[in-house]
Amino acid sequence: MAASAYLVALLSIASLMSTHNGVDATDTGITRHYKFDIKMQNVTRLCHTKGIATVNGQFPGPRIVAREGDRLVVKVANHVQNNITIHWHGIRQLQSGWADGPAYITQCPIQTGQSYVYNFTIVGQRGTLWWHAHISWLRSTLYGPIVILPKRGVHYPFPRPYKEVPVLFGEWWNADPEAVIAQALQTGGGPNVSDAYTINGLPGPLYNCSSKDTFKLNVKPGKTYLLRLINAALNDELFFSIANHTLTVVDVDAVYVKPFETDVIIITPGQTTNVLLKTKPYHPNATFLMMARPYVTGQGTFDNSTVAGILEYNQPPLSTSIKKLPLFKPSLPPLRDTTFVANFTSKLKSLASAQYPANVPQHVDKHFFFTVSLGTNPCPKNQTCQGPTNSTMFAASVNNISFVMPTKALLQAYFLRQSNGVYANDFPSSPLIPFNYTGTPPNNTMVMDETKVVVLPFNTSVELVMQDTSILGAESHPLHLHGFNFFVVGQGFGTFDPKKDPAKFNLVDPVERNTVGVPAGGWVAIRFFTDNPGVWFMHCHFEVHTSWGLKMAWVVPDGKLPNQKLPPPPSDLPKC
């Protein structure tokens, strides 16, 4: 078994792709085994060498490749001093909530020397997802791609690419990110910003001492490449562009979209975007930079640097060498170009074809209105803090509740009917004290610190409007929902108007995804259907905001039918 697991892990996309034209349409999926050994590895970036937590010594971590319908069995063994969990970001986890991974939500952490087997199937998804650690800030180095190919014999709804390339954006700190967030939570201030962004772990030539650490994409003329873009950065939405090349967006968050062309992509942490890159018909006698840098909405300091990689055509004309070719740079939107972002997101639509329908809930059983916001907690009495004032610490909240992490896992507490003392069921469905959310902010910025959930009956269609607020400055928040995809039926700036705005909702072909940017000073409306029993985390995918409490959970009890029930926990589920 160990040998075959290793073999599967070594399979490249290319070798899987070679069987892609098979004719076996009755494929019901196979089981793919992976072994993830969490261990320290010394790596050097920006002339700093440090030990980082990795999977199997790789940074970024290993690529998981599977087909829609396959089962994944991943044994995670923890050989580092930190507690670890792994989350399979965007995987629906139908009836397999025990494998979802957020620490203290669906499981206790895998402690040093322990292991845990994540066992789940991929149902009805195709495209790119990713895995990452889901405890504290350890995902800064523990992340990797999940490539989901269509079922054997099923084609993409776009021309078959010549090659497929995962492109992961990350964020690098010379310091230990665990020390960075620990310091911020202690002082109440904003955490130190990163030292670089990375493409596939490499900062590239625009940073000091990093030009050899550059991601290079070697291409042939006249071919179509599928780039699987993943934003694994901790705290930054990113613009991305490749000089002199147009990209065609075909899939987001492992759901096909109506293709559209663009020179620039905006991608929030947690999101994935598959794009087709058509290379020039002839060798262009040039090389091209691909670059990413942040889209910024907040007031705080941020890492304003730029990561670059190189798009290089192979076999330059005999008379020239690659080094002598002219280099072109893409132009990226200004850091605060909200107009570009609104324009881009308005172009995202579900494919909504007969084969890939958009099953948008047309009626709503339960309505929710959540503010997503910054706020404050009081500074401990004997301390001077670095929050917005010296007597406050930064916090963040949903409906003014800053979620307090329990010390037992919610899913276990729910399943064993031991929620008493762990969590309460009375998370409010709308703010307790309404105000003009995008007008003059209230004087009192204090949050309530609680562990509360919403219980949603099985088979319920839910509409959730998420509203940013002006408390401590409007800022966009990439909200990620575990356990479900949702349809983004509407969004806008200012305060949501329940009388006028629903009339403009798109219930025909809205984009379906698992992470959506709530616009700075605006709102977004999503719909989803509770077809999955379990406890499902929802949180801002800016890690700093999650650390400050911008998170909550939904509890969905079992349905009546046998295939609507959560099975008992696996025997190796970690304890706490």
542 lies in the site for Cu ion, by CB under 5 A: yes
DSSP code per residue over 254-297: TEEEEEEEESEEEE-TT-EEEEEEEPPSS--S-EEEEEEEEE--
Q: Which is nearer to ligand NAG, 124 or 380 (CB)?
A: 380
431 lies in the site for ligand NAG, by CB under 6 A: no
461 binds, among ligand NAG, Cu ion, none (CB under 5 to 8 A by kind): none
44 lies in the site for ligand NAG, by CB under 6 A: no
- Scanning 277-285, 365-373, 397-405, 546-554 for contacts with ligand NAG by CB under 6 A, the matching segment is 277-285
CB 195 within 8 Å of CB 173? yes
Of the residues 16, 40, 123, 185, which one makes contact with ligand NAG according to CB under 6 A: 40
Asked if the peptide bond before residue 60 counts as cis, ω within 30 degrees of 0, the response is yes
Within residues 374-393, the interface with ligand NAG by CB under 6 A covers 380, 382-384, 390
> How do the residues of the chain divide into helix, strand and coil, expressed in percent and rounded to 5?
10, 40, 50
Q: How far is the CB of 304 from ligand NAG (least distance, A)?
A: 4
- The residues, any chain, with a CB within 8 Å of residue 357's CB and separated by 6 or more, are none
345 lies in the site for ligand NAG, by CB under 6 A: no
What stretches of 384-521 adopt beta strand conformation (E)? Answer: 392-398, 401-403, 448-450, 453-455, 461-468, 477-481, 486-493, 512-513, 515-518
Q: HEC profile for 324-392?
A: HCCEECCCCCCCCCHHHHHHHHHCCEECCCCCCCCCCCCCCCEEEEEEEEEEEEECCCCCCCCCCCCCE
Please give the residue whose beta carbon sits closest to ligand NAG in the complex.
Answer: 439
Q: Which is nearer to ligand NAG, 26 or 443 (CB)?
A: 443
Of the residues 545, 555, 566, 574, which one makes contact with Cu ion according to CB under 5 A: 545
Q: Which is nearer to ligand NAG, 335 or 455 (CB)?
A: 335
Residue position matching structure tokens 């995902």: 139
Q: How far is the CB of 372 from Cu ion (least distance, A)?
A: 7
d(CA 549, CA 112): 26
Count CA atoms within 13 Å of residue 310 on its CB side.
Answer: 19
Of the residues 5, 16, 73, 154, which one makes contact with ligand NAG according to CB under 6 A: 73
Q: How far is the CB of 150 from ligand NAG (least distance, A)?
A: 23
Q: How far is the CB of 542 from Cu ion (least distance, A)?
A: 4
Amino acid at 565: K
40 binds, among ligand NAG, Cu ion, none (CB under 5 to 8 A by kind): ligand NAG
542 binds, among Cu ion, ligand NAG, none (CB under 5 to 8 A by kind): Cu ion
- Cα torsion 494, 498, 503, 507 to 10°: value is 90
Per the DSSP assignment, residues forming a β-bridge with 387 are: none
d(CA 267, CA 345): 10
φ and ψ at 309, to 5 degrees? -125, 175
Q: How far is the CB of 475 from ligand NAG (least distance, A)?
A: 16
Residue position matching structure tokens 């990093």: 210
221 lies in the site for ligand NAG, by CB under 6 A: no
Within residues 466-505, the interface with Cu ion by CB under 5 A covers 477
Q: Which residue from 186, 206, 188, 182 is spatially nearest to 196, judged by alpha carbons?
A: 206
Fill in the per-residue mask, 96 to 135: x = in contact with ligand NAG (CB under 6 A), - = not in contact.
Answer: ------------xx-x-----x-x----------------
56 binds, among ligand NAG, Cu ion, none (CB under 5 to 8 A by kind): none
179 lies in the site for ligand NAG, by CB under 6 A: yes
Give the binding-site size for ligand NAG (rule: CB under 6 A).
40
Residue position matching structure tokens 């202690």: 186
CA 533 to chain centre: 22
6 lies in the site for ligand NAG, by CB under 6 A: no
477 binds, among ligand NAG, Cu ion, none (CB under 5 to 8 A by kind): Cu ion
321 lies in the site for ligand NAG, by CB under 6 A: no
CB 534 within 8 Å of CB 411? yes
Q: Which is nearer to ligand NAG, 319 or 563 (CB)?
A: 319
DSSP code per residue over 60-109: S-PPEEEETT-EEEEEEEE-SSS-B-EEEET---TT-GGGS--BTTTB--
Q: Which is nearer to ligand NAG, 224 or 461 (CB)?
A: 224
Per the DSSP assignment, residues forming a β-bridge with 378 are: 392
Q: HEC profile for 373-417?
A: EEEEEECCCCCCCCCCCCCEEEEEEECCEEECCCCCCHHHHHHCC
Within residues 503-542, the interface with ligand NAG by CB under 6 A covers none
- Scanning 207-215, 489-497, 504-512, 534-542 for contacts with Cu ion by CB under 5 A, the matching segment is 534-542
Instruction: Give me the residues that bind ligand NAG (CB under 6 A), please.
Output: 40-42, 51, 73, 83, 108-109, 111, 117, 119, 175, 179-180, 183, 192, 244, 262, 282-286, 304, 317, 319, 328, 339, 343, 380, 382-384, 390, 436, 438-439, 443, 495, 576
Residues engaged in binding Cu ion (CB under 5 A): 477, 540, 542, 545
